[in-house]
C-alpha cells in the first residue's frame, strides 16, 4: 500500500519522505501562492484558479486571500460557500463543506494528527481523519476544527472555539474544547 493510500484510509503514513506526496503538496502550495498574489479585484481569475486547486466546487463560492492548503484535491465545498481571510485547510484527508457555509477570518481545518507515542512521532509518522461540515453552518473567527470531526447542519460555532468532537445539528457550540451551549 502506498503512503497516499494509507493517508486516505486514516492509517499511519509518512508524508515527510514520500516523493509523490511531497510533489502533490508542492503543486498545491505553488497554486495557493499564485492565488494569494492575484489582485483581489480579479474575481474571475481567482475563481478559476481555486477551481483548479479544490477537489469539488459548486458555482457560487468565494475564499478571501490568503488561503493555504496541503493538497487541495481533498477539499469539497458546497454552494454559497464563503470564507474570510486566512483560511488554512490541512487536507491530508477529505474536508467536506455543505451548502451555505460561512467561515470568519483565521480559521483552520486540520485533518492531520500525530501519534502520542514519541517514538513513532519522531519517525515522522502521522495520520489523517476526515472532517465534515454540514449545511447552513456559521463558523466564527479563530476557530480550529481537529481531525475526524463532523459538524451537523444549522450550526453556529462561536469565535475562538477548538472543535475536537462531533457537534450535532441545530445548536450553538463554543469554547475550548467546543461544547454545545444551546439548541437553535
**pLDDT in the model for residue 13:** 97
* Helix ranges (DSSP H) in 37-115: 43-53
**pLDDT in the model for residue 7:** 97
**pLDDT in the model for residue 178:** 98
Q: Which residues are designated catalytic?
A: 114
Q: Which of 90, 181, 80, 91 is nearest to 135 (CA)?
A: 80
178 CB-side CA count, 13 A? 28
**CATH of residue 93:** 2.160.10.10
CB 15 within 8 A of CB 3: yes
CA distance 182 to 176: 16
C-alpha cell read off for 83: 470564507
23, containing H or E segment: helix 19-36
**pLDDT in the model for residue 119:** 94
Q: What is the pLDDT along the chain (184 residues), one digit of tens a residue?
A: 999 999 999 999 998 889 999 999 999 999 999 999 999 999 999 999 999 999 999 999 999 999 999 999 999 999 999 999 999 999 999 999 999 999 999 999 999 999 999 999 999 899 999 999 999 999 999 999 999 999 999 999 999 999 999 999 999 999 999 999 999 9
For residue 20, give its domain range. Answer: 3-183
Please state the domain count of the chain: 1
Question: Which segments within the chain are labelled E, that is strand?
Answer: 13-14, 61-63, 67-69, 75-76, 81-83, 87-90, 95-97, 102-103, 108-110, 112-113, 125-128, 131-133, 138-139, 144-145, 150-151, 156-157, 162-163, 171-174, 179-183
CB 64 within 8 A of CB 43: no
**pLDDT in the model for residue 131:** 98
Amino acid at each position: 500500500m502506498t503512503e497516499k493510500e494509507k493517508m486516505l484510509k486514516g492509517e499511519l503514513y509518512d508524508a515527510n519522505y514520500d516523493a509523490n506526496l511531497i510533489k502533490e503538496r508542492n503543486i498545491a502550495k505553488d497554486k495557493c501562492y499564485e492565488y494569494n498574489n492575484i489582485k483581489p479585484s480579479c474575481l474571475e481569475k481567482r475563481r478559476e484558479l481555486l477551481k483548479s486547486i479544490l477537489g469539488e466546487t459548486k458555482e457560487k463560492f468565494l475564499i478571501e486571500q490568503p488561503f493555504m492548503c496541503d493538497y487541495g484535491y481533498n477539499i469539497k465545498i458546497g454552494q454559497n460557500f464563503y470564507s474570510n481571510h486566512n483560511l488554512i485547510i490541512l487536507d491530508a484527508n477529505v474536508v467536506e463543506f455543505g451548502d451555505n457555509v460561512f467561515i470568519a477570518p483565521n480559521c483552520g481545518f486540520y485533518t492531520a494528527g500525530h501519534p502520542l507515542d514519541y517514538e513513532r512521532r519522531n519517525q515522522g509518522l502521522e495520520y489523517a481523519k476526515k472532517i465534515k461540515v454540514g449545511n447552513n453552518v456559521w463558523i466564527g473567527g479563530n476557530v480550529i476544527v481537529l481531525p475526524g470531526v463532523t459538524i451537523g447542519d444549522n450550526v453556529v460555532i462561536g469565535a475562538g472555539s477548538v472543535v475536537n468532537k462531533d457537534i450535532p445539528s441545530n445548536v450553538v457550540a463554543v469554547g475550548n474544547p467546543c461544547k454545545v451551549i444551546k439548541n437553535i
